[in-house]
Structure 1
Amino acid sequence: MPGVFLESDRRREALRTTLWFIPTLEVLAAVALFSVTYALDRAVYRGTLTIPSWIIGGTPDAARQILTAIAAAIITVVGVVFSITIVALPLA
């Protein structure tokens, strides 16, 4: 019986160190999340599902401001990452 546990540990370690297992799980999770949210969106559009009123509490201008803030934050993070990379390359 100890050989079974040793083989199980070896398989677990092989899955943990592979470069394809975790990204494949993440892609499958993203596809599943897309399917669920798309189905919910279509159900709300058809009128078969009603969403609570507190979800639709903003205006289009508020949504635009939120998206602008998110885009600005992403651009800032990308700029910092590129700057750090460019600084690190000459030091390497």
Structure 2
Amino acid sequence: VEEFKKDQGVDLSNDKMAMQRVKEAAEKAKKDLSGTMQTQISLPFISAGAAGPLHLELTLTRAKFDELTRDLVLRTETPVRQALKDA
């Protein structure tokens, strides 16, 4: 969403339908990256601008995904270790 805003000048975060499509595409990309090093995210007609319809097209690599999720993984490490210790 941030990259789309930077590239297209359109903020999708207030568009519930667009955000649902982005969320579904992100989930699919996450699953795809379990078995490949990169995946394509393609959301045609995600929004409209002054010049007409806008499409979200990007390639997400495993490295970029790891970078984007690194903070979340680090924040869950301690609770997971504690849960395993307590089990």
Q: Same fold (TM over 0.5)?
A: no
Q: TM class, shorter-chain normalised?
A: under 0.3
TM-score, L = length of structure 2? 0.27
Structure 1 or 2, whichever has the larger Rg, is 1
Q: Name whichever structure is richer in strand by fraction.
A: 2
